Structure 1
Amino acid sequence: MAVVYITEQGSYLTKKGERLIITKQDKVIQQIHAFKLEQIVIIGNVMLSPATIAFLLKKGIDTVFMSIYGKYRGRLISGFGKNIELRRIQFKKMDEEDDKLSLAKHYVHGKLSNCRTLLRRHNLTYRDSNVTTALHKMHVLLRKINRVDTLMTLMGIEGQAAAIYFGIFGRLIKVRDITFDGRNRRPPLDPVNVLLSLGYTLLENVIQTQVNIVGLDPYLGCLHSVENGRPSLVLDLMEEFRPVLVDSLVLQLINKRIIRLTDFYRPEEQEPAAFDFAETESTRDDLPILLTHVGMKKFIIHFENRINQKVFYENTAMRLSYRDICLEQVRLLVRHLRGEAEYKPFIMR
C-alpha cells in the first residue's frame, strides 16, 4: 500500500473520479490513483476541497496533517478499529501493574539494545574509546532491567541510558560544520535535533497508523504516562525503532552530506518556499532553526526509502520492510495482550 507526501506549499488537492489531483495556480502538479493508496501526509499549506475530504473518508485513506516545521497536527480517520473486545483486554492489562511493568521492560530492553548496536557499528570503523565506555555503561544498565520491580525505577534506567547515548551521539557525526551537544526539543535548537524531531514525528505517524489498523487504543500505554491527547501506546512501541529508523538515518544523511547546513535556515531569513501560511509569524519566530522546503523533501524521501527497506525478521523468518515489521510488532503486542505469545522487541543485528 502506498504512502504519498504532499509538500508543495499553496497547492490544492481535489478529486476526479478515482483520482486525486494536486494543482497549483491552475497547473496540475501530480495525479494520484486512489487504488492501493493507504495514506496521504499533508505538510504545510495545502488545501483540500470538501469533496476530497468526503472521498478520503469514504475510501478509508488515512490523511495526516503536519506543519511545515514537522509538527503533527491531526488526522482524518474514517473510523477506529471496531474490535471493542481487544480494547477491553488492553484496558484490563494496562490496569495491572505487573503486566504493565513486564511489557515496559521489553520496550526499554529493545531501545537500549538497538542504541548499543548503532554505537557498536560505528566503533567497528572509528575505535573511539569514549564510545567504548558508553557501550559498557549501557550494557550494565541493560543487565539491570530484569531485576527492576517498579516502573519508576525502569524509567530511571531508561533516562540514564538516554543521557549516556545522546551524550556520545555527537561523536558519531563526522562533518565539521554540523555539531551535536545534546538532545533538545520543543523547539529543537540545532540541525541535528531538527532532523531527529522530524524523524520521530514521521515514525510516530507510521506506528499510529498500524495501531489504528489492529484496533488498539493508541492513547493507553504502559511506559509513557497517560495524558490527554498523548498517544502513549504509540510512543511505547516507537522506542525500539528510534535508533533503527531515525537516529541511524540522521547520521547517514549528515555524514554522507546528503543533508547539509545549507538545507537549514533561520526564521529571520524568511525562506518563502517553506512558509506555511497556516502558521503565525510569532510561531515561526519561536523556532530557532528550520529545514528548508528542499531539505524537508530530501529527508522525507530518505525516510521512506529506509522504512521500505527489507531486512530479515526473525518472528516470520522472512525478509520484510521495516514498515511491515512495525505492523508485525503491533500484531505481536495484540497476541501478548491476549496471552497467546510473549512480546519481544525487534532487535537490530
Structure 2
Amino acid sequence: MLYVLQPGRLLTAEGESFVVREDDAALLRLAPHRVDRIEVGRQIRLDEAALDLAAATDTVLLRTDGWGRALGRWTPAGSGRARRQLAQAAVVLDPARRLELARSIVEGRILSQRTLLKRLARGRKGADFTAGVIKAAPRLRRMARAALLNPRLDTPAALMGQEGEAAALYWPLLAASLGKPEFFRGQRRRRRGEDAMNVVLDLLSGLLARDMEVALERHGLHTGFAVLHAAEDGVEALVYDLMEEFRAPLVEACALALFGRRALERQHFESWGDSWRLTQEGYGACIRGYEAWVARPVTGQRSNEKMLWRGVMEEQALAYVAYCEDGVAYEPYRMDY
C-alpha cells in the first residue's frame, strides 16, 4: 500500500514504476506489483502517467480528504464475472440461504469480540476489567451460539439486534481495558468524532473497508449485494458484511495498541467544534500503525498457511464465492486465543 500525503508532492509514473516527486527530486520508485492501492491526500498532484499506469496494472487509486475519508477513486475495469454475481444475487434473494450466511457472519463477529477481551485480560490479576471479562465471556459465547442457531433470530434485522446486545457488553469492557476515559467513554459512535477513540476507530475502519473492497472486487463479487446489511444504492454493503469478522482483530485491537504504546497521545488530536479530529501527525501515526498491524503474519483458516492479513481477507472472499457458487459452508474468520 502506498500513501502520498505530504502537501505539494507529485505522484507520476516513469517507465513501469510509480514515482513520488518533491520539487525535482524523486523520493520513491515503486513497481506496480508491490502495491494494489494508492491513497493520495487533498493537496497532492497526480498526472495522467500515474492514472494510465494504475489503469494498466489494476491498481486502485483513491483521493482522500486528509483524515481518512475517501473523496473519489480511480479503479480498474470490472471483472466481468456476471455468472458469479448472479450466483451471489441468488443467495441474497433466497431467504433461507441469506439467513444462513448472515448467521455465520454475526457469530464470527461476536466470537472475535470475546476472544479479544480474553486476550486483553490475559495476565491481569485482580483487576475489575478481568472480573468483567470473566463474567461477560460466557454470555458472549451464548450470544454467538444463539446467532447461529436460535430460530427466533430469523431475519438479518434480528441478527443485527443480537450483535447490538453483544456490543453493549463489549464496548464498556474495551474502554476499561484502555483505562483512559478522557480518550474513550465506552460507547461506539460512528462518524461523530465524539472522542479520540471513536475518531481512530472510524479511520481504521475506513482503511479496513478499502482493503476488503479490493479483495472482493478482485474476485468478481458485487460489493452492493449483501446478506446482513441491506442493499442500498451507493452503499458497499458486502464490504460491511465481511468487515464484521475483521473488526476486532484489525480495527479495535490496533486502536488499543496505538493508545497503549503512546503512538497516539493528546497532541495528536484537535478540537473541531464539539468533536475531535486527528492532526496530520496523528493521521500518519494511525496509517503507520495499521500498516504494521496488517503486515504481521497470521494463519489462514482455509489454507492453514502463514500469510499477511490481506491474504486472509482474500481467503474469506474466496470462501464467500464458494458458498454462493457451490454451496460450501461458510466459516467466518475467528481470532485464535
Same fold (TM over 0.5): yes
Partner of 1:297: 284
SS where residue 275 of structure 2 aligns? coil
Alignment correspondent of 2:169: 164
Partner in structure 1 of residue 320 of structure 2: 333
CA distance in 2 between counterparts of 1:189 and 1:10 reads 31
Matches within 5 A, 1:142-161: 142-145=144-147, 146-147=149-150, 148-161=153-166
- Give the letter aligned to residue 52 of structure 2: A
Which of 54, 66, 69 lines up with 1:68 in the alignment?
A: 66
Pick the aligned partner of 1:345 from 308, 316, 332. Answer: 332
Take 2:117 and 2:34, find their aligned partners in 1: how far apart are those partners? Answer: 38
Asked whether the 8 Å contact 1:175–1:255 carries over to 2, the reply is no
Deviation at 1:174, TM superposition (A): 3.3
Deviation, 1:330, is 0.4
* Structure 1 pair 315–33 and aligned structure 2 pair: CA distance change class (3 A): closer
Q: Which whole-Å CA distance do the structure 1 matches of 2:300 and 2:55 have between them?
A: 33
Of the three residues 253, 276, 295, the one matched with 1:308 is 295
**What stretches of structure 1 of length at least 5 have no aligned partner?**
268-284
* TM, length-normalised to structure 1: 0.89
Secondary structure of the structure 2 residue equivalent to 1:13: strand
Question: Is residue 251 of structure 1 aligned with residue 253 of structure 2?
Answer: no
* Superposition deviation, residue 68 in structure 1: 0.9
**Residues 177 and 261, structure 1, Cα contact 8 Å, conserved in 2:** no
Structure 2 residue aligned with 1:116, among 91, 114, 117? 114
Task: Extract unaligned runs of 5+ from structure 2.
Answer: none
Selected match of 2:205 from 188, 200, 216: 200
Give the secondary-structure state (helix, strand or coil) at the position aligned to 2:36.
Answer: strand
**2:304 paired residue among 295, 304, 317:** 317
CA-atom RMSD, angstroms? 1.8
SS at match of 1:304: helix
- Tell me the amino acid that sits aligned with residue 18 of structure 2: L
Could you list the per-position Cα deviations for residues 203-258 of structure 1 after superposition, in whole angstroms to 9, with x for gaps in the alignment?
A: 00010000110001001101011111110011000000000111011111111212
Structure 1, residues 157-181: CA drift from partner, whole Å, max 9, x if none? 0111122211322101034753333
Map Cα deviations across residues 258-306 of structure 1 (whole Å, 9 max, x no partner): 2211111224xxxxxxxxxxxxxxxxx6x82221222212211221121
Summarize deviations over 1:84-140 as a string: whole Å, max 9, x none. Answer: 110111111110111111000011001000000011112223352223333233223
TM-score (norm 2): 0.92
Deviates more, 1:12-21 or 1:131-140: 131-140
Percent of paired sites with the same residue = 25
The 5 Å alignment of 1:130-279 reads 130-145=132-147, 146-147=149-150, 148-175=153-180, 178-267=183-272
How far residue 13 of structure 1 moved from its aligned partner, in angstroms, is: 1.3
Q: Distance in 2 between matches of 1:230 and 1:210?
A: 17
Equivalent position of 1:278 in the other structure? none
